[in-house]
């Protein structure tokens, strides 16, 4: 009897203890869920403060230069270690430039005009095919001698007929400074320096807005054809797209496809982005870039008519195109003043800007905005054009000169408010 009583008592205690354990476990589980819910809300709140910007565009359009400007404007720019490391890339740019010019001279049958140039050419081409060859000061000396040859200059004037990096003239003009042992690249040197983006690059910075800090994550994706398959990897939760166009590329072909016009390729890529069903809530900021390079080309007698005549079904007649007064004012307001030229930017005083530069830039802007309005049909579209998709996003355009910090800062200041407002509107906050 005693054993039975003890057994019943023990069983009752176990049941009571088990019940107590269940209650405690339930309390702990509830507490954990509460903590998890709190963390998720906090994470969601933090994510709402983080604006994810995607930089897209075809190769050599200036995307990486834009991210460099963001570092200069919003972070601390480049430290001494980074500047010294850039010397190697700058020397590689010089080597690529002079080798390409020498090759083009041979193909275009342009002769040298100075007696010593052939000797310098032989020295340069000796290690031209070796990417690991050290670029010595002697190499730079011979490059400078060649650059002074009028025949090489004539070849440069025809650089639209072959692939030459934009910074070629800039660095070849600075050879004497660059070969100095005391040389340290300036911000402008770093902005001009060309290197191929072969992976997704990310830059983070914060900007003040309404009394608090807003965090920006900007992703620079390679623009060459082989790199574009990576674009889809960063489409998730994108706040806005900065689509960068090289408006000076109307007379050039792709490096990876010499039969494909660069401007036409940019239009087709923009068409795919604007009409992509995965991006129907994502607004696009169109940067019509390299207006400085465009001006240089126009000054050399280049014009877009040849391209528009080749594709009359895509490009309206350039000869008949007349930019409006508003278009002209917008472009001149954006066009930078170089070499400490602080003249007021207005129609009446910007005599340094050729009318055909303005006309070409505005014409190219109209081409892209026709895609936005569904007025141009291009091939390789991911999905058919559907105007209803575009109710939830917009496209704004800006004329940019990526190497000019003042120009980029003005543009980014204008973009910032628009990006933040669109972000808040998308999540129902305003």
**Tens-place pLDDT, residues 130-180:** 887 889 999 999 999 999 999 999 999 999 999 999 999 999 999 999 999
415 is in an annotated binding site: no
Does some domain include residue 15? no
User: What's the token pair of residue 275?
Assistant: 């009409």
Whether residues 280 and 396 fall in one domain: yes
| Percent of the chain whose pLDDT exceeds 70 | 81
Residues 6+ apart with CB under 8 A from 263: 245, 246, 247, 249, 250, 307, 364
Most confident of 35-49, 95-109, 120-134: 95-109
| 28 confidence band (pLDDT: 50, 70, 90) | confident
Which domain covers residue 89, as residue numbers? 80-192
**pLDDT over 70 at 115, yes or no:** yes
CATH number of the domain that residue 329 is part of: 3.40.50.300
Does some domain include residue 68? no
| 44 confidence band (pLDDT: 50, 70, 90) | low
196 is in an annotated binding site: yes
Under 8 Å between Cβ of 251 and 297 = yes
Domain boundary among 133, 168, 192: 192
Does some domain include residue 263? yes
Whether residues 259 and 158 fall in one domain: no
- Higher-confidence residue of 53 and 10: namely 53
**pLDDT over 50 at 342, yes or no:** no
In 3D space, the residue among 24, 46, 370, 93 whose CA is nearest the CA of residue 215 turns out to be 46
291 is in an annotated binding site: yes
Determine phi and psi for 263, rounding to 5 degrees. Answer: -65, -40
Question: Does the predicted model carry a pTM greater than 0.85?
Answer: no
| Percent of the chain whose pLDDT exceeds 90 | 57
User: What's the token pair of residue 408?
Assistant: 């980029």
Does some domain include residue 74? no
353 is in an annotated binding site: no
Q: Which of 18-22, 62-66, 203-207, 310-314 has the lowest mean pLDDT?
A: 18-22
Domain boundary among 160, 175, 192: 192
Q: Which of 203-207, 208-212, 236-240 has the lowest mean pLDDT?
A: 208-212
Dihedral, CA of residue 144, residue 149, residue 151 and residue 155, to nearest 10: 30
**pLDDT over 50 at 347, yes or no:** no
Whether residues 303 and 172 fall in one domain: no
Q: What is the mean pLDDT of the chain?
A: 85
Q: Which of 154-163, 230-239, 310-319, 393-402 has the lowest mean pLDDT?
A: 230-239
Number of domains into which the chain is organized: 2
83 is in an annotated binding site: no
pLDDT at position 238? 86
62 is in an annotated binding site: yes
220 is in an annotated binding site: yes
**pLDDT over 50 at 341, yes or no:** no
pLDDT at position 338? 63
How many whole angstroms separate alpha carbon 403 and alpha carbon 190? 9
The CA distances from residue 219 to 64, 192, 289, 368, 369, in Å, are: 10, 20, 18, 22, 24
165 is in an annotated binding site: no
In this prediction, residues 396-416 reach a mean pLDDT of 93
**pLDDT over 70 at 301, yes or no:** yes
pLDDT at position 213? 82
194 is in an annotated binding site: yes
Domain boundary among 192, 224, 252: 192
Does some domain include residue 341? yes
192 is in an annotated binding site: yes
How many whole angstroms separate alpha carbon 413 and alpha carbon 39? 33
- Higher-confidence residue of 85 and 231: namely 85
**pLDDT over 60 at 96, yes or no:** yes
User: What's the token pair of residue 37?
Assistant: 């819910």
pLDDT at position 340? 46
How many whole angstroms separate alpha carbon 170 and alpha carbon 400? 19
Does some domain include residue 391? yes
CATH number of the domain that residue 92 is part of: 1.10.400.10
Whether residues 180 and 240 fall in one domain: no
Whether residues 242 and 183 fall in one domain: no
Whether residues 186 and 261 fall in one domain: no
Whether residues 171 and 287 fall in one domain: no
289 is in an annotated binding site: yes
Does some domain include residue 262? yes
Q: What is the pLDDT of residues 350-403, one digit of tens each?
A: 678 999 999 999 999 999 999 999 888 776 544 555 556 678 788 999 999 999
Whether residues 251 and 177 fall in one domain: no
| 114 confidence band (pLDDT: 50, 70, 90) | very high
Whether residues 294 and 175 fall in one domain: no
Whether residues 183 and 241 fall in one domain: no
**Among all chains, which residue has been given the structure tokens 């390789």?**
380
How many whole angstroms separate alpha carbon 404 and alpha carbon 72? 11
**pLDDT over 90 at 73, yes or no:** yes
Does some domain include residue 384? yes
292 is in an annotated binding site: yes
**pLDDT over 60 at 29, yes or no:** yes
In this prediction, residues 81-98 reach a mean pLDDT of 97
Whether residues 182 and 254 fall in one domain: no
How many whole angstroms separate alpha carbon 126 and alpha carbon 381? 46
In this prediction, residues 226-255 reach a mean pLDDT of 80
Under 8 Å between Cβ of 217 and 230 = no
Ramachandran area for residue 428 (φ above 0: left; ψ -120 to 50: alpha; else beta): left
Strands laid side by side in the 283-289 sheet: 201-209, 212-220, 50-56, 240-246, 283-289, 395-399
Residues of 356-379 as b/e, b for ≥16 C-beta within 10 angstroms?
bbbbbbbbbbbbbebbbeeebebe
pLDDT at position 195? 86
Number of other CB atoms surrounding residue 157 within 10 Å: 11
Under 8 Å between Cβ of 218 and 67 = yes
337 is in an annotated binding site: no
Whether residues 349 and 410 fall in one domain: yes
109 is in an annotated binding site: no
**pLDDT over 60 at 103, yes or no:** yes
């Amino acid at each position: 009897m005693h054993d039975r009583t003890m057994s019943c008592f023990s069983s009752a205690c176990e049941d009571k203890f088990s019940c107590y354990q269940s209650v405690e476990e339930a309390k702990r589980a509830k507490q954990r869920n509460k903590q998890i819910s709190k963390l998720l809300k906090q994470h969601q709140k933090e994510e709402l403060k983080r604006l994810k910007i995607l930089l897209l565009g075809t190769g050599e359009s200036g995307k990486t230069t834009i991210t460099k400007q963001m570092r200069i404007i919003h972070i601390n720019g480049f430290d001494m270690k980074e500047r010294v490391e850039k010397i190697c890339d700058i020397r590689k740019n010089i080597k690529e430039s002079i080798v390409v010019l020498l090759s083009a001279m041979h193909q275009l049958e342009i002769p040298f005009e100075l007696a010593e140039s052939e000797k310098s050419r032989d020295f340069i081409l000796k290690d031209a095919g070796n990417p690991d060859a050290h670029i010595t000061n002697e190499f730079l000396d011979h490059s400078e001698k060649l650059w002074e040859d009028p025949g090489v200059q004539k070849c440069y004037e025809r650089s639209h007929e072959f692939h030459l990096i934009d910074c070629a003239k800039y660095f070849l003009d600075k050879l004497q400074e660059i070969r100095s042992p005391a040389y340290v690249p300036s911000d402008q040197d770093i902005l001009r320096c060309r290197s191929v983006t072969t992976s997704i690059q990310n830059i983070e910075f914060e900007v003040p807005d309404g009394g608090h800090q807003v965090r920006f994550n900007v992703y620079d994706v390679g623009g060459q054809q082989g790199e574009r398959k990576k674009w889809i990897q960063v489409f998730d939760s994108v706040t806005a797209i900065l689509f960068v166009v090289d408006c000076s590329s109307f007379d050039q072909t792709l490096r990876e496809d010499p039969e494909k016009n660069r401007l036409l390729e940019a239009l087709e890529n923009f068409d795919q982005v604007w009409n992509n069903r995965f991006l129907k809530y994502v607004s696009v900021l169109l940067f019509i870039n390299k207006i400085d390079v465009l001006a240089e080309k126009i000054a050399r007698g280049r014009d877009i008519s040849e391209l528009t005549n080749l594709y009359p079904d895509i490009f309206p007649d350039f000869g008949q195109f007349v930019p409006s007064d508003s278009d002209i004012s917008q472009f001149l307001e954006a066009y930078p003043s170089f070499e400490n030229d602080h003249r007021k930017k207005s129609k009446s005083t910007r005599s340094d800007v050729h009318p055909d530069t303005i006309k070409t830039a505005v014409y190219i802007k109209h081409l892209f905005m026709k895609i936005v309005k569904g007025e141009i049909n291009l091939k390789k579209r991911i999905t058919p054009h559907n105007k209803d998709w575009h109710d939830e996003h917009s496209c704004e355009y800006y004329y940019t000169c990526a190497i000019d910090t003042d120009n980029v800062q003005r543009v980014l200041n204008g973009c910032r408010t628009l990006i933040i407002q669109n972000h808040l509107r998308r999540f129902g906050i305003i």
